[in-house]
Amino acid sequence: MRVVHAAYVSTRPTTLKKISIAPVLEDESPDLCAKFRKALLDSPEGFKYSLELEGFPVVHLEWVPVVQTAGALIFPPFVQDARRPDPDIVTLLVNGVESPADLNSLAMRYSVRADLWKQLLNAEKPIAFSLMSCVGRVREPATITIINAFANSFFGLFGTNESPGPD
């Protein structure tokens, strides 16, 4: 069984409280996992991707590998605006097998507040740790489905998201 631990944290102050994370679109997940697995194998240096799930706006993303077992999935805003140059979401994918030097490379590439970095380091691994500058984006099922499917595909390459079977 595929298992991905996900965390969503806001990087900016927000008045939105207790935001419910959108459900994963189960019917879309198998196809997305297959697409992402192929993209990861075909372009290990990283890539940009655009997806349109039925009934949702086109979701653009970029995969930026930092070290062999960790990287970032970046979601630009749905609407580009010079006043908001930051991505809506940067999801750090960490397997839990990284060396201190690997983690340092990730930390240097993406400046993360110390309190959030500590949360990431102490979280159960593997983890899809999403840093959100647009908190409302987690209410959007296509984005949540894409994060989950991508994380499963990435961690599946290493076998780190396989749960132990029954004894």
**pLDDT (0 to 100) of residue 1:** 35
With a CB cutoff of 8 Å and minimum separation 6, the contacts of 112 are 92, 120, 131
Cα 31 from Cα 74, distance rounded (Å)? 20
**pLDDT (0 to 100) of residue 96:** 92
With a CB cutoff of 8 Å and minimum separation 6, the contacts of 39 are 47, 49, 63
- Residue 152: count other Cβ atoms within 10 Å of its Cβ: 21
The pLDDT of residue 166 is above 70: no
What is the per-residue pLDDT across 73-94, written as a single tens digit (0 to 9) for each? 999 998 777 777 789 999 999 9
Sketch the domain layout of the chain as residue ranges: 5-13+21-158
What is the per-residue pLDDT across 92-108, written as a single tens digit (0 to 9) for each? 999 999 999 999 999 88
**pLDDT (0 to 100) of residue 94:** 96
Q: Are 119 and 7 in contact (CB under 8 A)?
A: yes
